[in-house]
Chain A
Amino acid sequence: AQSVSQHNHHVILSEAASLELGCNYSYGGTVNLFWYVQYPGQHLQLLLKYFSGDPLVKGIKGFEAEFIKSKFSFNLRKPSVQWSDTAEYFCAVQKNYGQNFVFGPGTRLSVLP
């Protein structure tokens, strides 16, 4: 069965530190890849997505992610985090022409002021 893993359950950083959150998936075919963020008390919001083309994708709020097909990875990065980035981050994979998303378990990011 297709699965998505996220390397860290909880990450704690100070403001201005760099961020990298890992995401790996097990499906071997063509996939679409997403990162969603869930701020405290708010709904899931799309940060960025990869469908095809340039494997380095840029999203909102200074986030970017790199798709490495050979490693089945789609890691999320941000050069300098802010306190307002404190949230839960979810990686999601959609099989090409699949109906549903498979989400990872999430990584909670706490940014200390």
Chain B
Amino acid sequence: ETGVTQSPTHLIKTRGQQVTLRCSSQSGHNTVSWYQQALGQGPQFIFQYYREEENGRGNFPPRFSGLQFPNYSSELNVNALELDDSALYLCASSVSGGTGGFYEQYFGPGTRLTVT
């Protein structure tokens, strides 16, 4: 088990609603990355936070936003939910210098979001 925790475990929302997912990073890790894993696919990078600022973003619209707090925990917010947002959302923490480099990511168990 890694020290990365996510809440909630499961969530059901209606199209058009907003959702907030939470992640606590492993002790000593200063960087958090969020991924979306649709059923039967590999994780897709959403964005990364380092020192409370966005430090890279994948091909996701602005209605996907995030925050990182001084204790390095993080939130993923999704506005105006669409049916295609149904997926497993993974948080990964790591130690980095912010400009990249070689580092491992440690994944949490994920939040399963279902949009109806």
Interface residues of A (CB under 8 A from B): 4, 32, 34, 36, 42-46, 49, 51, 90, 92, 94-106
Contact = CB atoms under 8 A, between A and B. Distances in A.
Given A43-B107, A100-B58, 16 more contacts: A43-B90, A44-B92, A46-B104, A49-B104, A90-B43, A95-B100, A97-B100, A99-B33, A99-B48, A99-B100, A100-B45, A100-B56, A101-B45, A103-B35, A103-B42, A103-B44
A99 B102 contact: no
Interface residues of B, number: 28
A48 to B, nearest CB: 11
B105 A99 contact: no
A94 B108 CA distance: 19
A56 B55 CA distance: 32
Interface string B60-82: 00000000000000000000000
Q: Is the interface of B mostly helix, strand, loop or mixed?
A: loop
9 contacts: A43-B109, A43-B110, A46-B104, A90-B42, A97-B101, A100-B48, A101-B43, A101-B105, A104-B42
B34 to A, nearest CB: 10
Nearest to B55: A99
B12 to A, nearest CB: 19
Contacts of A45: 2, 107
Contacts of B108: 43
A99 B43 CA distance: 15
B97 to A, nearest CB: 10
Nearest to B100: A97
Contacts of B105: 101
